[in-house]
Structure 1
Amino acid sequence: MKNKWLSTNNSHLVNVQRLPNILSTIRLVLAPIFLILYVQDEVVWRALSVGIFAVAVVTDFFDGYLARLYSAQTAYGVFLDPLADKFLTFAGFICLPFIDATQFPWWAVGVIVLRDVVITGMRIIAERRNVSIKTRLTAKIKTMSQMFFLYLVLLVGVFVNTDVWLSSYCIQLLESGILGWLMIAIVVLTLYSGIEYIYVNINIFINKHDAKT
């Protein structure tokens, strides 16, 4: 009886330990769904897409929390979690030029995407050499800043096309140019984070066996 209880308990623990990777996978799936819905002309689809984006952001919090709580951090999970974040942020930034291409130009989106592609490439090379690149504090700040910024701008993109009491405030905010300056700040932070990653882990490219963290 005791062995049966232990077996059931261990099975439950294993299932819980899989949750972080499941949540990251859900985020990967939600990203393209969000993107497709947001670029539609109908406001209802945009509003729904913002809700989907919010759900995806919540999964980002819980996968990290559960991984730490149940000591379920794996090499696969360490790679999958930031990859899912990148897919979600890519989708979010691609939507911004559809709101205002002047304040959120495609070149800025390209810089952000290029940075993440380069860092993801570094991670792939590191994994092949059995080296783990830990997520740096600046990268966490960058991701959190991007998520808050994206959610704000995406909401503005919904309300400027509606006729509710928030609409006029969102239009004023968009026309003020503040969001455009925030976009520049996000680009600078993203670039700094990428340069730091390259500088700290440059030994990966010169055939060293371990990366600095």
Structure 2
Amino acid sequence: MIKRLPNFLTILRILLVPIFVALFYWGGEVRTFGATGVFAVAAITDWADGYLARRYQGVSPFGTFLDPVADKIMVVTALVLIASSGEIQALLAGILISVIIGREITVSALREWMAELGERNKVAVSWMGKIKATTQMISILLLVYERPLLGFSTRILGIALLVVAAGMTLWSMVGYVRAAWPSLMASGTHLDKEP
């Protein structure tokens, strides 16, 4: 039973997305406490499912596939909602969110390509990627919460952390590309060709 718990938590994270969206658009205290709480639960399950899968040998192909998908769905949804709310200056929001989402697409494609070559381990999640993800999650929590916290503006702190997360996003992406570059440039690398 406990070996299935990580997959359950991953599925739960996906099921929380429409609830998060509804609470975010509800606004007011429902957004402040409800949407923030739902995102916090999603962030905790992101950590918990990986920990439990490793701790109890519950790593499965299904979980390995679905876990990063669930993470990206929740994070991208939250970023798009924050950008569309107009609470961050449009140009800044556009740049930061384009960098973060663009990186996720690029690294996902890179990992898929390296898996085809049998060299996915070269682009395994790095410590920088984990720190980036944590910074990103905290910044989103602060931006969704939107109200002052302990006398600090959560918006200013959230934007500052999002800028840091975007910088780390680019840094970690460069690291992944550099690790994969010899394989990508190797002669004889097969390409899908149109018939």
The reply to whether TM is greater than 0.5 is: yes
SS at match of 2:3: helix
> Of 93, 112, 119, which aligns to 2:100?
112
Distance across 2 between alignment mates of 1:178 and 1:70: 37
2:107–2:176 contact (8 Å) kept in structure 1: yes
Distance across 2 between alignment mates of 1:46 and 1:179: 14
Change (3 A) 1:148 1:173: closer
- Aligned twin of 2:176: 197
> Of 61, 74, 82, which aligns to 1:96?
82
1:67 aligns with 2:49: no
1:32–1:91 contact (8 Å) kept in structure 2: no
Distance across 2 between alignment mates of 1:100 and 1:63: 32
Deviation of 1:23 (Å): 1.4
- Aligned twin of 1:17: 3
Deviation of 1:142 (Å): 0.7
1:28 aligns with 2:7: no
Deviation of 1:50 (Å): 1.4
SS at match of 2:120: coil
Distance across 1 between alignment mates of 2:111 and 2:184: 11
- Aligned twin of 1:136: 126
SS at match of 1:135: coil
2:43–2:137 contact (8 Å) kept in structure 1: yes
- Aligned twin of 1:185: 164
Change (3 A) 1:46 1:99: farther
- Name stretches of at least 5 consecutive residues in structure 2 with no aligned partner: 188-195
- Aligned twin of 2:190: none
Distance across 2 between alignment mates of 1:138 and 1:19: 27
Distance across 2 between alignment mates of 1:131 and 1:77: 20
Moved more, 184-193 or 66-75: 66-75
Distance across 2 between alignment mates of 1:191 and 1:147: 16
Number of equivalent positions: 184
TM-score by length of 2: 0.79
Question: Which amino acid in the other structure matches residue 28 of structure 1?
Answer: I
Distance across 1 between alignment mates of 2:144 and 2:52: 28
1:40–1:46 contact (8 Å) kept in structure 2: no
1:169 aligns with 2:151: yes
Q: Percent same amino acid at aligned positions?
A: 27
Distance across 2 between alignment mates of 1:185 and 1:152: 14
Question: Which amino acid in the other structure matches residue 66 of structure 1?
Answer: L
Change (3 A) 1:196 1:75: farther
Deviation of 1:117 (Å): 0.9
Deviation of 1:126 (Å): 3.2
Distance across 1 between alignment mates of 2:39 and 2:157: 23
Distance across 2 between alignment mates of 1:46 and 1:196: 36
2:143–2:158 contact (8 Å) kept in structure 1: yes
- Name stretches of at least 5 consecutive residues in structure 1 with no aligned partner: 1-14, 161-165, 209-213
Deviation of 1:203 (Å): 4.1
